Structure 1
Amino acid sequence: MAFARRMGAFDAEVSGPGAAAFALAPPLEALFTVGDGNFDISFRAGGDEGSSANPAAVLRAWRQGESLVPLLGGGVAPLPAGWLERFGRRVADLLAARGERDELPASALPDLGRLCEELDLPPPPALAKLRPLLEEFDGLPEPVLPGDLRASLRIYQHQGVAWLSFLRQAGLGALLADDMGLGKTLQASCVLEPGSLVVAPTSVLHNWKAELARFRPGLRVGVYHGPQRRLDPKDDVVLTTYAILRLDTDALVAKRWRTVVLDEAQAIKNPDSQLAVAACKLQADFRICLSGTPVENRLEELWSQLHFLNPGFLGGRKDFQDRYAKAIADGQPGAAAHLRGRIKPFVLRRLKREVAPELPPRTEVVLHCTLSEEERKVYDAVRAAAMSDVVERLSAGGNVLAALEALLRLRQAACHSALVPGQQAEGSSKLELLAEQLEQAVADGHKALVFSQWTSLLDKVEPRLRQAGIRFNRLDGATADRSAVVSEFQAEDGPPVMLLSLKAGGTGLNLTAADHVFLLDPWWNPAAEDQAADRAHRIGQERPVFVHRLVAEDTVEERILALQERKRALAEAALGGGTTAGGITRDELLELLA
């Protein structure tokens, strides 16, 4: 741009064979035409007969703030800045979706329709059948519910089934991102047909089998898991796990499925992982992702899921990173709203407060504890031993693993000194606070869930509960019969406390007998904690739910709470009304360790 200004002030004659390359042509004009399901865009200097510029080069120059762009036949021309300000973002979306195939995927037709409307052009005829997706879903046809359905759908669930049925008919993928506890499994079950595959975490496989037996008894359900697993052609619905999908990719991609459901679809959030690659190879007429937390740390996670559902829709990964993730992280005006508008036809997200006002309130409480003198000495020693060296190496661009290890030790020291290698301690301030809270809750007739990321910490909770005379049971990765443990706790005469590891107990469980949830060790990804809390705060809960976060004062845990708020902004930017977002960065690690 600076060069262009200097050339404009250059008062001399330029001659020679290379001069043509710098000849200034008339301003570019955009020529946009629409066919049935595709489009053509060209930029010509002086109209139809003028020299043209590569559309990708025009958009790149515009994004970089340039005023001129080279022409294909030589010379340069001024950009149509006003036109690009109004329509450039949508044109870039369409070009990215079309990619090198020169074929626009059906999932991009709503984008094309919006641009046609803004340009006052007739929409492509192929868009007519997708019109309800552009009109707040008001025109969705009534779904044909399966004859064997044994459930009474709530109003929002009925709308969800109508939306899923519509997208199935259109051959487009759907991300059902309802808040946890609103019945995503039931809604997905309503559109399953013979020849369906459900991929889920191992921890929820039994839940899927039980839910299908309850809601869709007419379907024959097979579980493809275990050492003797085999695909039975008589099964209407096959249930399997992400681990098996990765191990048996060839067997699962050899069959074309009517419907493929990925439950807890954030499992494919890393597009480079073997799991995400295997999922994208699955052949299916209809694809569904279910996730209450489709965005946890980076917007790239959303791209990965939508790439599985509707390949090409959001363009290439690098293009998405450049035009959306970075723009939203930088707070570029309109970037987050534009992304939300684009994905809206394929992402349905309802929050509990919006669609289930009868659900009792959920109250979040931070319970602070003060480390004892001995605990403070251990914590400060851990911090002094590692911090200066780790922070120095991290600041110099070193590997983050050492920083994460130091952070782990600090978090453990904040919970119980005996978790730190080489240290011994009988109890901890945090566990004393937990015991006091549980004694009071149990005495008042309440039931409680106690979560930790470390089974070693749960091991230390057990003797303290026995000392207090509090009955409990436990669910973690070593639990063989999860359903029996859940049934025992849910029973009216069952134990009033359940200890759970965050990984094993954070998803797929209905634990509405509890109305108190205790989170022993805060984690910087709030989605994991929210999933745990929603084991109790879900449809079927009749009492207010209290979520207690136990935090040691003047420790790294207080900084983690602040970081959680920034993480929530990430999901809000993509799915709600927020405008900025960001994943965990090297600077954030430094901030936690400072």
Structure 2
Amino acid sequence: MRGAVISPDGAVVPPGYGPDPVPAGRKAGAVLDAATLLLGNAQRLLDDHSRAVTCVRDAFHPLQQELVGVELGAIPLSRLKEVTAGRLRLGALEQAGLTSVREVHEAGRHALRQLPGVGAHTADQAVAAAGRIAEAVGETVSVRIDVDHPEPRTTALVAALHRLVGAGPGLRRAHDTADRLGTRLRGLLPEAEPARGRLRMALSGRDRRARALGAADRIRGLLDEAAEADVPLLLAQVSADLLREPASEIECWVDFELRSAEYYSLLAETVGSAPDLASSEGFIPSEIAGRVRAQQLDDTRLRVSLRGYQSFGARFALAQRRVIIGDEMGLGKTVQAIAALAHLAARGGTHFMVVCPNSVLINWTREIGTRSTLRAIPVHGPERQEAFSEWREGGGVAVTTFDSLHTLPLPRHGQPEPAVREAGKPRPAGPEPAGPHMLVVDEAHYVKNPDTRRSRAMSGWTEQAGHVLFLTGTPMENRVAEFRSLIRRLQPALAPDVQGIDAVAGSHAFRRAVAPAYLRRNQRDVLAELPALVQVDEWEELGADDLAAYREAVSAAHFMRMRRAAYARPETSAKLGRLRELVAEAAANELKVVVFSYFREVLAAVRQALGEGVFGPLSGDVPGARRQHTVDRFTAAPGHAVLLSQIQAGGIGLNMQAASVVILCEPQVKPTLEHQAVARAHRMGQVRPVHVHRLLTVDSLDQRLLDILADKNRLFDAYARRSDLAEATPDAIDVSDRDIARRIVEEEQLRLATGTGTNAPG
């Protein structure tokens, strides 16, 4: 019948009798043509990505094999016997002059069989054992790209990675979308093919027609979803980026130096050299890790690709709701927090808050705008109340400081929204949630003491927030009790399990008890590409003038004057003399230097000793925006430059990857201050080895302080880091800063009075 259509049940419906049941004829044909075109674009992107990945792997493999060869060359031949449980006979191989596993691995079966006394069985066993060792070594070696010594092979690798990095953060989303669409369309298109024409439908059986119409309908839904999410544009943009050739090798190297973290992240993802799963998940119990893995992470509002461990950290914050991420400095805690905020925003969240030290407020505002599509609103300074009102009315991320928080009105009492709504669903009727959907607290150890004003203000906001994320690389500085106070603030239900457990059962039980609220990863576990950290203690003799100043400070029992006595006479100071030598050496190599001291007077002496052209000093009374501006100018300066900073001002929050030489003018009472300061330079994004020089003097308090710091570091390792061996209890070494000062003063007074003992390094 002319003009008739086929209904889903196979009946012929004359024209004019009821609606067209589903797309058929030319309608269905247009839908299927559009789907075929989209499938082709998706497949082209997958093919382009596959070729780019192959280029990276081809460039990476010879570099990795060279490192494996070096490692195998250091492994004696006798280790082959261990791999074969003693079954392999090595006598003939040794008599032939073979001494290392590398020689066996490179020789191969045929060459070994030609050796006198080596039979086929021995040769096969030896090569197989060497291969197993080579595989194990291959999983441990790390290819580091030396930006200062480029050569053809590393240039090829950087150029291959440049194409993937240039595709931007949309690459992963485009690839996953193309893969998902391709799988679904390849299954649906053949099934929907009869719906292209009425004749095909008429010649198909009833079940076949029903399946074709259903498949066509599902394809239409897929096309609508793709159009709504701008998938065709995303695929086209990323494909164009993958096909774009770099202008030059120099462009690739410059881009690598600027964005090395992204290059190394893609390299690890591409060649499968990601860190051990347990390491990247902070060795938390399997039941918690499983819950976190099941947590989805919506990255549609992110502008940066996450590493695997960073994605896990963001999902940990979402799944566990009220937690501490205590990752070691330089692992990207900020971006993990932003990823969690972006997820909640993508699922309908509107109001978020970040509380941080004044020194990093500008950095947080920048990072939120650079790494996500969220709007950051600084709530600080004279106009903070107006900014706060703007945030309350329009939403976004309010970025404020610890000192400003108590001036902001708390949300009205009530329960925060229990969960963010799913994307696309309208907000339920009723009042807005009482507090922000997520509260992020950077350097959360600032509120470890519950009796301070800033801690009381923080408690009010944490009670009202839907999610709370504390960030700190130093969750406890001197006392395990301080760490417990943060845990109690987040998850009071854990307090009974944590209280007193350290003294009874040690660090393992303590970490298991706090696992639901605490995640920590260390650089050595998850950043295999991080350049070397070389730490050197520079010991000097006190000059006559400095020794006189030191004795005077000891006699007066003035601990702080004792610490800076080595700089009392700048013109004869041995420490300043060594510092000038180190800076001169860095200048000769065009390296940037950052100099840290606790004391402004010391930095003033350093500035005078070095002359003009020195940046800073950064200090506590320099506004955060000016600190960031100074760091930016230091970073942008061509070649050698020196930045001076008080360690408590510049050692937190600011990124100083441009510096590859760090000079500590004196040891610090708190080891965390030194860790934080060094981590400003030795962090993700650093492309050069970082050399840390700590200036020390013999026959002074420096050695005594180092001994005490070593004990405090062991406490931190046992409770705040992963440690399978340490079982220290805080009772043995838990001391406060005041205790340290009094103890050192008394010991130095006794030593100088009796003339016994020495503090020379041992």
Q: Which TM-score band (shorter chain)?
A: 0.5 to 0.7
Number of the residue aligned with 2:329: 180
- Alignment partner of 2:311: what SS? helix
Percent identical pairs in the alignment equals 34
Contact 1:452 1:521 (8 Å CA) reproduced: yes
> For 1:592, which of 731, 735, 744 is the aligned residue?
744
Number of the residue aligned with 1:342: 513
1:217-239 CA-to-partner distances (Å, cap 9, x unmatched) read 2x222111111212122131111
Residue 427 of structure 1: how far off its partner (Å): 4.6
> For 2:576, which of 417, 431, 443 is the aligned residue?
431
Aligned length, in residue pairs? 420
Distance 1:324 1:407, change over 3 A: farther
Number of the residue aligned with 1:461: 606
* Distance in 2 of aligned mates of 1:186 and 1:137: 20
* Distance in 1 of aligned mates of 2:691 and 2:572: 25
Residue 584 of structure 1: how far off its partner (Å): 1.8
Please state if 1:297 is matched with 2:297: no
Contact 1:279 1:308 (8 Å CA) reproduced: no
Please state if 1:526 is matched with 2:671: yes
> For 1:308, which of 468, 489, 492 is the aligned residue?
489
1:269-328 CA-to-partner distances (Å, cap 9, x unmatched) read 112222222211111111110001111111121112112211242139xx82xx245x1x
One-letter amino acid of the counterpart of residue 379, structure 2: Y
Number of the residue aligned with 2:399: 239
Number of the residue aligned with 1:206: 362
1:457-487 CA-to-partner distances (Å, cap 9, x unmatched) read 1111111101xx7644432234342222111
- Alignment partner of 1:527: what SS? helix
Q: Which runs of 5+ in 1 are unaligned?
A: 1-131, 387-405, 419-424
Residue 381 of structure 1: how far off its partner (Å): 2.5
Number of the residue aligned with 2:648: 503
Distance 1:301 1:281, change over 3 A: same
One-letter amino acid of the counterpart of residue 467, structure 2: F
- Alignment partner of 2:436: what SS? strand
Please state if 1:557 is matched with 2:736: no
Contact 1:253 1:281 (8 Å CA) reproduced: no
Between Structure 1 and Structure 2, the one with more strand by share is 1
Distance 1:252 1:563, change over 3 A: farther
- Alignment partner of 1:208: what SS? helix
* Distance in 1 of aligned mates of 2:323 and 2:622: 33
1:23-71 CA-to-partner distances (Å, cap 9, x unmatched) read xxxxxxxxxxxxxxxxxxxxxxxxxxxxxxxxxxxxxxxxxxxxxxxxx
> For 2:436, which of 210, 232, 257 is the aligned residue?
257
- Alignment partner of 1:450: what SS? strand
Distance 1:138 1:492, change over 3 A: farther
One-letter amino acid of the counterpart of residue 323, structure 2: A
Residue 549 of structure 1: how far off its partner (Å): 0.8
Number of the residue aligned with 2:64: none
- Alignment partner of 1:256: what SS? coil
* Distance in 2 of aligned mates of 1:358 and 1:446: 20
Number of the residue aligned with 2:314: 161
* Distance in 2 of aligned mates of 1:144 and 1:416: 53
One-letter amino acid of the counterpart of residue 440, structure 2: V
> For 1:444, which of 589, 592, 612 is the aligned residue?
589
* Distance in 2 of aligned mates of 1:346 and 1:228: 35
One-letter amino acid of the counterpart of residue 429, structure 1: A
Could you say what the CA RMSD is over the residues aligned between the two structures, in angstroms? 2.2
Q: Which runs of 5+ in 2 are unaligned?
A: 1-283, 415-433, 748-762
1:322-352 CA-to-partner distances (Å, cap 9, x unmatched) read x245x1xxxx5x3321111111122110000
* Distance in 2 of aligned mates of 1:272 and 1:444: 50
> For 2:540, which of 369, 376, 380 is the aligned residue?
369
One-letter amino acid of the counterpart of residue 318, structure 2: S
Distance 1:590 1:550, change over 3 A: same
* Distance in 1 of aligned mates of 2:332 and 2:450: 27
Distance 1:165 1:385, change over 3 A: closer
* Distance in 2 of aligned mates of 1:518 and 1:277: 37
* Distance in 2 of aligned mates of 1:335 and 1:137: 23
> For 1:566, which of 694, 706, 711 is the aligned residue?
711
Distance 1:149 1:250, change over 3 A: closer
Please state if 1:226 is matched with 2:226: no
Number of the residue aligned with 1:579: 727
* Distance in 1 of aligned mates of 2:614 and 2:552: 36
> For 2:568, which of 414, 417, 428 is the aligned residue?
417
TM-score normalised by length of structure 2:
0.53
Residue 161 of structure 1: how far off its partner (Å): 1.9
Greater shift after overlay, 491-500 or 134-143? 134-143
Contact 1:523 1:529 (8 Å CA) reproduced: yes
Distance 1:427 1:253, change over 3 A: farther
Distance 1:252 1:352, change over 3 A: farther
- Alignment partner of 2:384: what SS? coil
* Distance in 2 of aligned mates of 1:464 and 1:587: 34
One-letter amino acid of the counterpart of residue 311, structure 1: P
Which structure has the larger Rg over C-alpha atoms?
A: 2
